[in-house]
A and B are shown apart, each in its own frame.
Chain A
């Protein structure tokens, strides 16, 4: 089945609007619970909004406000990730985290933060002196005063996880429709009729998981919104792989009320990242990189890990967090309208997504209890992009028959790219292909592989990497002859 064909336009049990990590996790949960689900994404590919740029950490939720919806969803999401990651082929890097104090004031706050963690049922914490901290992380600046260790904070692959959730939903008969923007709709007689850029779609229940656009979509469908999205930009710097040896733990600062602050940590892909900033803006689409801010991030990174001064920058990126005027998640069920808004997931969505999905499932059962969970669901495994996994799952470049390397920096094989381009979530944009395979995400940023990749993806992306196929042009340069 081509990925975008609507196999049955008549009526779905649940229409999920928005293919971010939250929408993908809800699609999986409801599908497994026996609902006929369609997920609508307005971009060429899923994960094109808030979910495309985050710090790729599976947080325990130790610093979430105790008793909040966020804390509950994070605890549930964290637990479910640990439970299912192997079955979906997803990685887990058990790095642990250190919350670092750099001043007397910060050091004084550590015990209270540890109490808060315990209140959130995050245990096995240990308070460490400066010497003990630097023994664990010899690359840290001598300016560190103290820390506490949270062993349960882990690194994960921020894109494979949501892809795996949605791939499992699709394998179990959920439908994905991309390039499909919801422009309006109304609820009548137990049924939603949604007007979309691809025609009318019907559903018994609508779930608004549109992240940065949650309030706008609520306006379009309900004529009102209960919260307003205030995008918060986060810029990141990613260092080349040799830098990853400078820190083994996730290095967290003492958090402020609005942000977790600037994190330094390895990535699942063997790099090291520094970020994010927290900058309010109105633009919901463009997260612009600012050279001065990136230079300041670099400097902050070097203050934490002085060895970073000698390391190369591989990538820079910026993400937008869909923050609202409320600190907690904004998940509202509208009884009488069979509608759930899932909004204000300001920063912890990757960690909490599976928990949010369970919470939304419970709300949906309030509308319609007549569900039989799938007796024997399929568990497709997502491709592996992580070297040196604790479960020893190899990368494709380590396996026979991989058809050769296309992206040398990230060791992405032709077979991997071909597999992704022909699966039910086949990316339609280069950005989507990068998230699925990591092509061009390495240190050379396409210097070596762009031409091979442009050729391989020809006719397969909505916006091609390059145009033209004039064999006559690929040859001698006549210009130089005169």
Chain B
């Protein structure tokens, strides 16, 4: 990377939808040098290996597949004068801001007036889920499967089991079908599918048994998976013959850079703690896209990236309010998993994130209460399922509020 500068106005980490949208927006707002870094050999992020519809409707008013959409994002950014550098891995976030990097040519640093973090999400691994049994080949995430199938035409198994019923799990079924892989079952520990049943897909997954209330106990095999043991709701265990396991979903922010940095991490989302402008605890850093919360669509992340890009341009022009004082919103109880943004700064400036985004840990029904110092400021009915999008306007926090704000759910009696 001989042409990678030592300094830029804005450096963006991650060339997926959020990062590229922000970069394009920053250029459109007159920011002179905007550099996007990505550790992969190609820019575009996760959509590069999601070879299915629907992408691009919001952004380009075209119905695109993931790879075409990714290419579109890259071309648009380049046309706007964004410098994209691939095969550059950020190894540390420094105050300044500045970034430590490694490239095929060795290590170096880059400094910037502002840094935007758009490092996205990954699926939770078999290990992190503490799934039992042994460790043969053929246990992969959807992301790994899609990379193998769509980027390299490789097939890690022939008749796997899909663990999970999130949207990405159905995407895994499509990926299998594309490659002539025939899943033998889809397993879900809960009593219903996590994603809304994708009716359009239904005929295509016919013939693949959907096993609800079923827990994956153990994986068997040596070089390759030979079977799995599952337990159904009635407590009975049984063996399923299979040569692979697709461990899908349970996304979590790819926040390892954050966690070893001086920036504050939000325990609930697992991502960056931000204010309504996408600004981190160090106001030189911003964050956008799925790093903020698992998990949203590419289109959502793109829109969020663009809005945070706009806020960064304002910040560079000295037009954002100071980061303190702020109202700090925190969920309590075990129903709510996360709320983003976590900090609201009193301001008349348009926010980059116009609404709070919430997620629940489990199916929840009752009233959502927002309170400060014991007094309820706002309440509304809530009837929500895990992994589904829930939003509320920022105005549920009274203008000018500061200090801790509690948000929780008073559940209806079962």
Contact = CB atoms under 8 A, between A and B. Distances in A.
A binds B: yes
Interface of A: 237-238, 240-242, 285-291, 294-295, 298, 310, 312-317, 397-405, 408-409, 411, 429-431, 443-448, 450-452, 454-455, 458, 462-463, 465-480
Grouping DSSP codes into helix (H, G, I), strand (E, B) and loop, the A interface class, with mixed when no group exceeds half, is loop
Interface size class, chain B: 35 or more
A338 B223 CA distance: 36
A240 B140 CA distance: 19
A448 to B, nearest CB: 7
B107 A477 contact: no
A473 B149 contact: yes
Interface string B88-110: 01010000000000111111000
B258 to A, nearest CB: 9
Nearest to B87: A404
Nearest to B158: A467
A91 to B, nearest CB: 19
A404 B41 contact: yes
Interface stretch (B171-179, B281-289, B367-375): B171-179
B317 interface: no
A479 B204 contact: yes
Given A401-B105, A454-B154, A467-B154, A295 B148 contact: no
21 contacts: A241-B256, A288-B132, A289-B130, A291-B131, A294-B130, A295-B130, A314-B125, A316-B127, A397-B107, A401-B104, A405-B87, A447-B144, A450-B147, A465-B148, A465-B156, A466-B148, A474-B150, A474-B153, A477-B52, A477-B150, A480-B52
B178 A479 contact: yes
A237 B128 CA distance: 9
Contacts of B7: none
Contacts of A448: 40, 122, 143-144, 147
A315 B129 CA distance: 10
Contacts, number: 185
B182 interface: no
B314 interface: no
Grouping DSSP codes into helix (H, G, I), strand (E, B) and loop, the B interface class, with mixed when no group exceeds half, is mixed
A451 B148 contact: yes
A450 B140 contact: yes
Given A397-B89, A402-B104, A455 B130 contact: no
A445 B137 contact: no
B102 A397 contact: yes
Contact of A479 (B152, B174, B256): B174
Contacts of B222: 285
Interface string B156-182: 100000000000000000110111100
B401 to A, nearest CB: 27
Contacts of A443: 122, 125, 128, 256
Contacts of A310: 267
Contacts of B322: none
Given A404-B104, A447-B125, 11 more contacts: A240-B259, A286-B134, A313-B127, A317-B135, A397-B89, A402-B102, A404-B87, A455-B152, A458-B154, A473-B180, A480-B52
A397 B107 CA distance: 7
